[in-house]
């Protein structure tokens, strides 16, 4: 462990950038805190715009050779990369639990295996991409997926390992090289990813990581005219800045943004099943883009639902995310904690009533009680805005038409949940304008299925073929069947 290396729960993690296969320091650094207890984890290098440019230069230089490998060779590299994650599984889990406050149990059973799968699934899937031929009387069209070039990957702090690998897998598998800008509040597992890429023997420049803030490092990256793609997951305001910068160079962006997803409970729902699922919305202290945060409950089952969900929520264990029994951990940062408190205070001032919670949790400075607010108007701030903390709202309805209008009555359109008799719930789900919606369930995902939002929740879809559509340029190579005769009157 050299002087610059951090020791996180006994694991060595570099706080430096990873550019062209080397660890690079910066003159500037910033302090990283753990949300668990706000202890300083270390100083992280802050990339200057010049260092960002050097990472794009390295990725550009690595692109020709990497893009010309066969998909099978890249698959082997990515399987080796995933195997390196597997070897360091404990480090990934403990480090992300410490820097992002994610439940250690969730890291071990959900996130770490999924990170490996994000690489191997897309590596394998690249072999099945349908390069195809269109044969006409005149010519044969060979339609190919070409890698786009250098891709920027920018991710948020609530799920850095999962989200970064979810983009990295298809970007690399299809022959692109990448520059990753990790979230500054939880940057460490992206640094471990660089370690794994190195150990797996990926050529220098194929994967680069530049640490730093959004306003300096991120902004310099998205303004670079050499980028071919920007894949971004984060908030709506940041997406507007990134899309604006990308527009200057006409760089295509994939934007996976926030949500204010409805959790619908129909009159014919299994109320206790809905309530048990509802309590899951507090997972990761509701710092989950796809959580159902607006409960829309049929008025005739409202009291039974509230009693049932309250009894589940009262038993939730709030505490240190590293403890196996913990179900709700801290929020990420004092700024986020203040924001959550302010949302609740303004909602109460506007007439909201607290069904449960409503206050900071005594466990520690960055903990907040799982909260449910009711008597909230559809056009109120608390119903319309993403809180990104454990504060949910509950409204009632009396008809299908009413609940569909309420579900669709925000600017967001990411996800949703609908509990009810299956045919009824499916019928309602089909009329809710979101990128995905779960019927009598929550969180079932498959890497082959599309993921993304509509309206202000973003554009584009990730997953399966959709990821490759984004990270590839589709090219038509046209070969005439008869000798070509040049003619000015030819169409
Ligand atoms: P954020 O938008 O503040 O930051 C996301 C990333 O963008 C960070 O790495 C940040 O450094 C970077 N960034 C900030 N300003 C930038 C700029 N000007 N140029 C380039 N990069 C810049 O989001 P956050 O607070 O980290 O994350 C929470 C948000 O992410 C929530 O809105 C949540 O819903 C959303 N999210 C969406 C999904 C999804 O798949 N739809 C998944 C997880 C989180």
Residue 491, pLDDT > 70, answer no
Going by pLDDT thresholds of 50, 70 and 90, the confidence category of residue 489 is confident
DSSP symbols for 242-283: HHHHHHHHT--EEEE----EEEEE-TTS-HHHHHHHHHGGGG
**Residue 433 or residue 132, greater confidence:** 433
Residue 130, pLDDT > 90, answer no
3-state class (DSSP) for residue 117: helix
CA angle 53, 44, 229 (to 5 degrees): 35
On whether the CB atoms of residues 177 and 63 are closer than 8 A, the answer is yes
Cα separation of 473 and 486, whole Å? 28
pLDDT tens for 32-48 read 999 999 999 999 999 99
pLDDT tens for 269-313 read 999 999 999 999 999 999 999 999 999 999 999 999 999 999 999
pLDDT tens for 389-413 read 999 999 999 999 999 999 999 999 9
Substitution site in 162, 181, 219, 238 for ligand 1 pocket (most atoms within 8 Å of beta carbon): 238
Q: Give me the pLDDT at residue 3, please.
A: 56
Cα separation of 230 and 167, whole Å? 10
Going by pLDDT thresholds of 50, 70 and 90, the confidence category of residue 188 is very high
Going by pLDDT thresholds of 50, 70 and 90, the confidence category of residue 414 is very high
The count of other CB atoms within 10 Å of the CB of residue 47 is: 29
Mean residue pLDDT of the chain comes to 97
Cα separation of 202 and 180, whole Å? 15
Cα separation of 124 and 173, whole Å? 8
**Residue carrying structure tokens 């069904």:** 355
Options 190, 196, 289, 418, the catalytic residue: 289
Average pLDDT estimate for 20-35: 98
**Residue 57 or residue 491, greater confidence:** 57
Please indicate whether residue 289 is annotated as part of the active site.
yes
Going by pLDDT thresholds of 50, 70 and 90, the confidence category of residue 1 is very low
Written as six digits, the tokens of 426 are 């499916």
DSSP symbols for 166-188: HHHHHHHHTT-EEEEE--TTS-H
314 Cβ contact list (under 8 Å, min separation 6): 356
Using CB distances shorter than 6 Å, the residues near ligand 1 are 154-159, 181, 183-184, 213-215, 218-219, 222, 233-235, 238, 241-242, 256-259, 289, 386, 388, 414, 453, 458
Written as six digits, the tokens of 423 are 């045919």
On whether the CB atoms of residues 359 and 369 are closer than 8 A, the answer is yes
On whether the CB atoms of residues 351 and 345 are closer than 8 A, the answer is no
Average pLDDT estimate for 320-337: 98
pLDDT tens for 359-385 read 999 999 999 999 999 999 999 999 999
Average pLDDT estimate for 312-328: 98
Report the largest interatomic distance among the alpha carbons of the chain, rounded to a whole angstrom. Answer: 82
Determine the distance separating the centroid of ligand 1 and the alpha carbon of 223, expressed in angstroms: 17
372 Cβ contact list (under 8 Å, min separation 6): 295, 306, 309, 310, 313, 354, 355, 356, 357, 392, 393, 394
């Amino acid at each position: 462990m050299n002087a610059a290396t951090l020791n996180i729960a006994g694991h060595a993690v570099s706080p430096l950038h990873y550019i062209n296969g080397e660890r690079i320091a910066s003159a500037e650094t910033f302090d990283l805190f753990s949300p668990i207890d706000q202890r300083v984890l270390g100083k992280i290098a802050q990339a200057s715009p010049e260092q960002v440019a050097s990472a794009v230069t390295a990725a550009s230089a690595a692109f020709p050779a990497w893009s010309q490998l066969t998909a099978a060779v890249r698959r082997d590299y990515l399987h080796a990369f995933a195997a390196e994650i597997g070897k360091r599984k404990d480090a990934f889990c403990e480090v992300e639990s410490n820097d992002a406050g994610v439940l250690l149990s969730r890291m071990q059973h959900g996130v770490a295996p999924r990170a490996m799968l994000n690489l191997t699934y897309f590596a394998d899937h690249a072999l099945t991409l349908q390069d195809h031929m269109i044969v006409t009387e005149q010519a044969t069209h060979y339609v190919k997926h070409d890698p786009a070039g250098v891709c920027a990957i920018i991710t948020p702090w609530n799920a850095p390992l999962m989200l970064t690998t979810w983009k990295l897998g298809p970007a690399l598998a299809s022959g692109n090289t990448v520059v990753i800008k990790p979230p500054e509040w939880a940057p460490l597992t992206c640094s471990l990813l660089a370690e794994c890429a190195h150990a797996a023997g990926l050529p220098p420049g194929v994967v680069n990581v530049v640490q730093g803030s959004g306003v300096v490092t991120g902004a310099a990256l998205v303004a670079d005219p050499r980028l071919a793609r920007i894949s971004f997951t984060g908030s709506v305001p940041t997406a507007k800045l990134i899309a604006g910068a990308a527009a200057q160079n006409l760089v295509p962006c994939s934007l996976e943004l926030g949500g204010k997803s409805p959790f619908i409970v129909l009159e014919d729902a299994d109320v206790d099943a809905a309530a048990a699922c509802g309590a899951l919305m507090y997972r990761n202290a509701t710092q989950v883009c796809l959580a159902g945060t607006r409960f829309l409950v049929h008025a005739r089952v409202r009291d039974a639902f509230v009693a049932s969900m309250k009894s589940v929520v009262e038993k939730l264990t709030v505490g240190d995310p590293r403890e196996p029994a913990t179900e709700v951990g801290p929020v990420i940062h004092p700024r986020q904690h203040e924001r959550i408190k302010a949302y609740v205070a303004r909602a109460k001032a506007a007439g909201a009533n607290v069904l449960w919670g409503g206050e900071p949790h005594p466990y520690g400075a960055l903990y907040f009680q799982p909260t449910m607010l009711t008597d909230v108007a559809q056009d109120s701030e608390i119903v319309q805005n993403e809180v990104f903390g454990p504060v949910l709202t509950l409204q009632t309805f009396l008809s299908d038409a009413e609940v569909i209008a309420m579900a669709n009555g925000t600017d967001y359109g990411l996800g949703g949940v609908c509990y009810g008799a299956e045919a009824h719930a499916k019928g309602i789900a089909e009329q809710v304008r979101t990128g995905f919606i779960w019927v009598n369930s929550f969180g079932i995902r498959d890497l082959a299925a599309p993921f993304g939002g509509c309206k202000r929740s973003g554009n584009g879809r990730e997953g399966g073929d959709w990821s490759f559509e984004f990270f590839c340029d589709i090219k038509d190579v046209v070969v005439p069947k008869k000798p070509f005769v040049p003619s000015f009157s030819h169409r």
